Structure 1
Amino acid sequence: MKLATWNINSLRVRLPQVLDWLAQNPVDALCLQELKLADEHFPLEAFTDIGYHAVWAGQKTYNGVAVISREPGCDTTRNLPGFDDPQQRVIATTLPSPAGPLRVISAYCPNGQAVGSDKYEYKLRWFAALHEWLKNELVAHPRLAILGDYNVAPADEDVHDPAKWEGDVLVSEPERQAFRDLLDLGLSDAFRLFPQPEKSFSWWDYRRFAFRRNAGLRIDHILLSEALRPLCTACEIDKAPRAWEQPSDHTPVVATLTFS
């Protein structure tokens, strides 16, 4: 069973790329972020035509998340219960798996703009709310995967130039601590369960030929619960779509779960 995440930076613009990628990579579930379209404009038929189901939380111009899946989901939740937020950043649904129900969450975590800004403080509050919600989700759904754009590079090895980025948003210590707090719930960073090439990133700025220079960050992650960790047999970053014409600035991350 393959689970993937991809911030596509406008589904309206990049729907053909998503469909092409799914044709080449028929994963069981694809979590999308930054749909940037209202609910009523979600292109459901384009996915049903190729054999997929979808749940989504859309928002005009900004944000928006979805789970595209081979099997229909159930018990779907939008946003963080108890956290008053008009921004559409979380969609969770339960999918069937050979081991039993599998909770899949697509999350678009706040960027934070700049350390010390109002948006940065919102980001930290949002992560705290996510942490509290996941505590309960993990009790209710022991097989849980939360995939998405976390807007946090967890360690210096996830940054192309740690000295240049030191103290900035996406790498600041409070943000990294918020990410570690999620791991302390019993979640594991699937990518770091395996040896990986150095300078492995999932996001590259559009400016200054960043992708060509591999001047990126690893900010897109797949976190797995304790029940799923031993089932994970691979996790890879697929850099190919970042080289396509008019690409997203992010590229997919894919985890493989193997059930005996």
Structure 2
Amino acid sequence: MFTPRTPRIVTARRLQRRKDRDQARRFLAEGPQAVREALAAGVVLELFGTPAGLERHADLAAQAPEVSPVTDEALAALTDTVHPQGLVALCEQVDVPIGEVLAKQPKLIAVLAEIRDPGNAGTVLRTADAAGADAVIFAGDAVDPYNGKCVRASAGSLFHLDVVRASLDVLDLLQNSGLQVLATSGTGEDDVDSLLDGGLLAAPTAWLFGSEAHGLPGELIAAADRRVRVPIYGGAESLNLAAAAAVCLYSSARAQR
């Protein structure tokens, strides 16, 4: 049984650092839900599990190409949660080039422009998946989609739709491919409801979302086709990023369907 000092555990533990994940093109997915979706996507290389975890989720262990029993201490070393769930999968990274996405003529894309919070990013990824988006682009100096908290917050959606890592220049590629680019802004001249009522959201669309703290970079707001706000009908000052993204993406999904 592997311990925290076993070389394979030591090597896997390094994947908690972004530079090591990028160099190895691998990452860790923690918990039965993430493991299940990673197995379905065919990207699991090895499954680490405590004896109790492997017994409790024998169906998942049976699907893994390699299963390595580990001590509770070894599993804890591979996670950053207070109460690990007994399973951690070593996975291949799943992001694809932007050209591969655009070749499919996507109808709905979410762009996370320099969003730093992994929980927010993972939640938007999950929301985009639920709304039927084709891809999520992590643009500029954005959080790593393989950050442990981001993977958990995506609730398996990381494995369901195309994930892209790109520079902020991706905006030009989206527009040249026929997508209208809509920048979310609390001071936008358009609002989501008016665009939905006017039929404008039925067109292929890329929504730009910025961080809650700083919003979108000014150059992206200026380069977008429209600047769009989510209308506030009550007394709230604003919506958080995940809630605003849900409103925008589902409005497009409704119009496109």
TM-score by length of 1: 0.29
Of Structure 1 and Structure 2, which has the larger fraction of its residues in strand?
A: 1
TM-score by length of 2: 0.29
